[in-house]
């Protein structure tokens, strides 16, 4: 009896002891996951990438590339910006970045007075270097250190070459561009128009397509009304592509037209695979991100002084759609 009682108590003790030790272990080992503290003496440099089009895949890729490069360089990096080309919000972000005395600002160039004001005066007064990316603002207006992105003039040329290859050396084309052309869009337009001058058989017309969807639709109607024999459309702003194509297809078949655009929007790849677009100029957003951060770091570390103010060009290439050509 006595032995039985002692045995039962001992085994109970052993079992409970085992579980208690497990539990105690768990309690002792479960650390509260607090973010690790940072010592105040070693401040990392901070770089901000600010864009107006946070919502587009293009800018997401730019941000991703920049973030990767920042991680490699061990600098603090954040992607700021506004959605849907919200100018006011964008400028506010830039201002905040400058007031926050970040070490470098990489910004999507914005060809407005307010932006130039900020870049020229405020950034200079705080001594913060600015690098434009993807969209440039001329150096004399913005005092930017350099530009990283595609050569838009070359992109225009490349597209014209593709057009001539597809359509031949004669035909009628319509160029559609939104109300306020960005510096980069203007460069593309220049590139195309300069090139088209070589081909006497090609008649080109530039139609302003406004900034809203309704205006774009109207512009498409206008183009079809005024130029019934039009063979090709070139859209400077890919964000308007879907609306315009819808408008065209509501009037007639979409197939006979050549449709070209420049990829800096969200719909390019979808439209390409649907076969509605015949070709687009594809840029290298990730490369832009990486390169911009790299250049900024080189500047901050005084490795390359001064930076090439003409800019660092990233790769562009033509991508053809899958749709059957007429």
Q: Which residues bind another protein (CB under 8 A)?
A: 2, 5-6, 9-10, 12-13, 16-17, 19-20, 23-24, 26-27, 30, 32-38, 40, 43-44, 46, 76-78, 92, 95-97, 99-102, 126
CB of 20 to another protein, least distance (A): 4
Nearest approach, Cβ of residue 156 and another protein (Å): 38
Q: How far is the CB of 274 from another protein (least distance, A)?
A: 38
Which residue, chain included where needed, has tokens 């024999």? 229
Cβ contacts of residue 54 below 8 Å, gap of 6+?
A: 60, 79, 81, 82, 83
CA dist 312 and 150 (Å) reads 8
CB nearer to another protein: give 26 or 225: 26
Q: State the nearest-atom distance from the C-beta of 15 to another protein, in Å.
A: 9
- Complex with another protein: residue 101 or 301, whichever CB lies closer: 101
- d(CA 188, CA 291) in angstroms, rounded, equals 22
Question: Closest approach of Cβ 37 to another protein, in Å?
Answer: 5
The answer to whether 312 and 295 have CB atoms below 8 angstroms apart is: yes
In the complex, the smallest distance separating the C-beta of residue 288 from another protein, rounded to whole angstroms, is: 22
Q: Which is nearer to another protein, 20 or 198 (CB)?
A: 20
Which of residues 93 and 135 has its CB atom nearest to another protein in the complex?
A: 93
- Smallest distance from another protein to CB 101, Å: 4
204, 194 in Cβ contact below 8 A?
A: no
Greatest Cα pair distance, the chain, in angstroms, is: 116
Residue closer to another protein by CB (options 76, 256) is 76
Helix or strand (DSSP H, E) at 196:
helix 183-196
- The owner of tokens 């030790």 is 21
Contact 148, 47 (CB under 8 A): no
Q: Which is nearer to another protein, 26 or 113 (CB)?
A: 26
Question: Which backbone phi and psi does 248 adopt, to 5 degrees?
Answer: -65, -45
Helix 57-73 to helix 285-300 angle, to the nearest 10 degrees? 40
Q: Identify the helix (H) or strand (E) that includes residue 41.
A: none
If the CB atoms of residues 99 and 317 are measured against another protein, the closer one turns out to be 99
């Amino acid at each position: 009896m006595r032995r039985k009682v002692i045995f039962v108590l001992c085994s109970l003790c052993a079992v409970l002891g085992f579980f208690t030790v497990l539990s105690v272990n768990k309690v002792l080992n479960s650390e509260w996951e607090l973010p690790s503290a940072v010592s105040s003496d070693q401040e990392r440099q901070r770089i901000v990438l600010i864009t107006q089009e946070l919502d587009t895949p293009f800018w997401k890729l730019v941000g991703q590339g920049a973030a990767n490069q920042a991680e490699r360089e061990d600098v603090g990096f954040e992607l700021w910006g506004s959605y849907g080309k919200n100018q006011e919000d964008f400028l506010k972000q830039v201002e905040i970045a400058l007031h926050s005395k970040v070490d470098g600002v990489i910004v999507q160039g914005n060809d407005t007075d307010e932006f130039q004001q900020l870049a020229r005066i405020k950034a200079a007064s705080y001594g913060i270097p600015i690098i434009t990316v993807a969209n440039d603002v001329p150096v004399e207006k913005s005092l930017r250190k350099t530009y990283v992105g595609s050569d838009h003039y070359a992109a225009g040329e490349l597209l014209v070459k593709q057009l001539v290859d597809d359509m031949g050396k004669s035909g009628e084309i319509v160029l559609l561009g939104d109300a306020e052309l960005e510096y980069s869009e203007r460069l593309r337009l220049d590139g195309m128009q300069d090139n088209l001058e070589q081909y006497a058989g090609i008649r080109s017309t530039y139609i302003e397509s406004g900034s809203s969807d309704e205006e774009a639709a109207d512009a498409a109607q206008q183009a079809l009304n005024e130029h019934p024999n039009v063979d090709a459309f070139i859209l400077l702003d890919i964000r308007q592509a879907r609306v315009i194509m819808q408008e065209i297809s509501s009037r007639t078949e979409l197939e006979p037209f050549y449709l070209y655009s420049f990829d800096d929007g969200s719909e390019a790849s979808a439209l390409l695979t649907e076969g509605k677009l015949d070709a687009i100029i594809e840029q290298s957003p990730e490369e832009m991100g990486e390169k911009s951060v790299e250049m900024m770091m080189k500047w901050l570390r005084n490795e390359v002084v001064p930076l090439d103010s003409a800019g660092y060009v990233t790769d562009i290439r033509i991508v053809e759609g899958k749709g059957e050509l007429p």
